[in-house]
Amino acid sequence: MKEIEILVISQSEWNVQNNTGNTYSNIFGNLKGYRFSNLYCNNAEPDNEVCNKYFKINEKEILLNLFGDKNKIGKSFNIVNHHKEKINNSKKKSFLKRNKNIVFYTIRELIWKIGNWKNNNLAKFIDETSPDIIFMTVHGSCFMHNILKYVKGKTNARVVLFFSDDYYSYNTNNKSPLYYINRFFLRKRIRESVKIADLFYGASDMLCVEYGELFNVKIKPLYKGCRFDEC
């Protein structure tokens, strides 16, 4: 029986030493009949026992090739035997990713907005992996939702969204106009992602209820070992 191909789109690398990677390994680690690939957006190294095929893009590549060869952006690679020793990825994460200031957040969004990341390298990776399912956590960055839209447009894959946190509500304690501008566009991107999704999961019962009512969709709590047969 053919294995189901799942492409996981994430901002961080799939590394069990960070929260994102540990969550993915807990969700997918014991699933049988599935094969995984990971498209992620920094230069750090993955480390897990689930996924072997990767594609990474980072802001430095995008910046260096704003007016150059766009096919220098992005790299596809395989890891058959993941590292057993602890990997120090702290210096490999971009300055813009490590800095949480709203100004740097906005600069990062602009880089991805004008950058040439939609290139032959990424198209080839998508074609080679030929995913049946695209899985993405609902991120707090517009460019992640733009990547999802692009990948979805290149495939016939079904989309699974995972709500892990609240990136939709406005923080009324934040007085920065830039924050509200960014949040306005992020909310728009999240709504677009919901429209193209086929299945929804949440990290808690509360998130499932709140976002289910907000977007008028059925959201199930996601537990370790969930299957995606409904897609």
Both tokens assigned to 184? 């306005």
Question: Could you give the CA distance from residue 209 to residue 222 in angstroms, rounded to a whole number?
Answer: 13
- In this structure, what are the phi and psi dihedrals at residue 123, rounded to the nearest 5 degrees? -60, -40
- Per the DSSP assignment, residues forming a β-bridge with 201 are 162, 220
Write the Ramachandran bin of 211: left for phi over 0, alpha for psi from -120 to 50, otherwise beta. alpha
The DSSP string of 121-144 is HHHHHHHHH--SEEEEE--S-HHH
Least confident window among 88-92, 145-149, 164-168: 88-92
- In this structure, what are the phi and psi dihedrals at residue 167, rounded to the nearest 5 degrees? -110, 10
Question: Could you give the CA distance from residue 8 to residue 17 in angstroms, rounded to a whole number?
Answer: 17
Is 69 in contact with 43 (CB distance < 8 Å)? no
pLDDT, position 96 = 46
| pLDDT single digits (tens) 20-51 | 899 999 999 888 889 999 999 998 999 999 99
Q: At residue 184, does pLDDT exceed 60? A: yes
Which runs of consecutive H residues, i.e. helices, occur in the chain? 19-28, 59-64, 95-98, 102-114, 120-129, 142-154, 177-196, 205-215
| pLDDT single digits (tens) 88-123 | 554 544 544 444 688 888 999 999 999 999 999 999
Question: Could you give the CA distance from residue 58 to residue 167 in angstroms, rounded to a whole number?
Answer: 22
Percent of the chain with pLDDT over 70: 87
Is 167 in contact with 191 (CB distance < 8 Å)? no
pLDDT, position 85 = 47
pLDDT, position 79 = 84
What's the pTM value of the predicted model, to 2 decimals? 0.89
Region 60-81: mean pLDDT is 85
Higher local confidence (pLDDT), 84 or 213 = 213
Q: At residue 223, does pLDDT exceed 90? A: no
pLDDT, position 32 = 86
Is 152 in contact with 220 (CB distance < 8 Å)? no
Q: DSSP class of residue 12? A: S
Average pLDDT score, the chain? 88
Q: At residue 12, does pLDDT exceed 50? A: yes
Residue 226 binned pLDDT confidence (cut-offs 50, 70, 90): low
pLDDT, position 104 = 87
Query: What is the DSSP pairing of strand 75-78 with strand 133-137?
Result: unpaired
Question: Could you give the CA distance from residue 207 to residue 110 in angstroms, rounded to a whole number?
Answer: 30
